[in-house]
Amino acid sequence: MTLLKDKTVLVTGGTGSFGKRLVHRILHEFSDIRKLIVLSRDELKQSEMALEYPRDKFNQVRFFLGDIRDRDRLSRAFEGVDVVVHAAALKQVPAAEYNPFEFIKTNIIGSENVINAALDSGVNHVVALSTDKAAAPINLYGATKLCSDKLFIAANNIKGVRDCRFSIVRYGNVLGSRGSVIPLFLKQRDQGRLTITNPEMTRFSISLDVGIDLVFRTLKEAMGGEIYVPKIPSYRIQDVAEAIAPDMDQEIIGIRPGEKLHEEMITQADSYNTLEKDDHYIILPVANEMKKHRFEEWHGKNYVEPGFKYNSGTNTDWLSVDDIRELIQQHVDKEFKV
């Protein structure tokens, strides 16, 4: 038996960067899957993606137009589904500050719709994607994702006799994703000047594949209610600039509204419920002693020290300038040269 043998899997936000890579991985690593449903609201991206997976070669794939804001549509899409990976979200921090309720409707109300559709349709496991910005948030985007996280954790309390688990994967900036600093600097390099918010700024860095590996682990291991956090390296914004354009003029423009100097994935308050594993952490839900004992029997008792926090600025694992250049060539632009 493999992880997804004879399962029907649905991916919300399936035409986004993460969703597309997840679909690719599933189709090439789990040939015994029954069906893979790509749910998104963008018909153009779906039509383009469908060209990559023609029905005569990939007869497990279905494309389903819909918005997670539409509960009725989700209920229809979730019929017969065993596993949901919830990757749909609005994500741009500046856009959230300017259009807050649009983010609330998608990231919070949309998440509640996913939960209710899963419970009503007999889904067995939902893994929702979170973000480092959900830990002690200072911007609207992070606040909506924290609220989403709370909804998915609490959903385990209302499932009743249903065989359904809700779990979360939280990670940092995806290397080279749309709207991130690397594509911005590559574009600005052609224009002759880089804009840097703050030379001391740091961020966590993760590749799509490492994030997907953690989703697979969560599907395999989680009891329901846990937040899985990978151990990943940090980078300095100044080192990214050095890696891309070492001799180019730089303009310091200051931190933008809603930005932090450093990001966190585990706060000090989380430390009292956080377990450490070889390559990841698990934040357990706050629970009574009986339920806490069940989690400890399943995951062990290797708690982090009280007061521990997982911060991009105090991380012990760092990407060097050469590391960043190599990763750009691997994941962003194979033709990249300094």
Q: Is 105 a catalytic residue?
A: no
CA atoms within 13 A on the CB side of 240: 28
- C-alpha to C-alpha distance for 197 and 205, rounded to whole angstroms: 18
Catalytic, out of 7, 20, 91, 133: 133
Token duo for residue 229 = 């956090």
Q: Which residues contact 112 (CB under 8 A, 6 or more apart)?
A: 151
> Which among 124, 276, 127 has a CA at the least distance from the CA of 215?
127
Q: Which residues contact 255 (CB under 8 A, 6 or more apart)?
A: 197, 198, 201, 261
Token duo for residue 49 = 């993606």
Work out the burial of residue 322: count CB atoms within 10 Å of its CB; fewer than 13 is exposed, 13-18 middle, 19 or more buried: exposed
What residues form DSSP beta bridges with 251? Answer: 195
Provide the 3-class DSSP secondary structure of residue 205.
strand
Q: Report how far apart, in Å, the C-alpha atoms of 236 and of each of 91, 94, 327 are.
A: 21, 21, 14
Asked whether the CA dihedral 78, 284, 136, 181 is positive or negative, the reply is: negative
> Which among 10, 53, 54, 17 has a CA at the least distance from the CA of 34?
10
Q: Which residues are catalytic?
A: 133
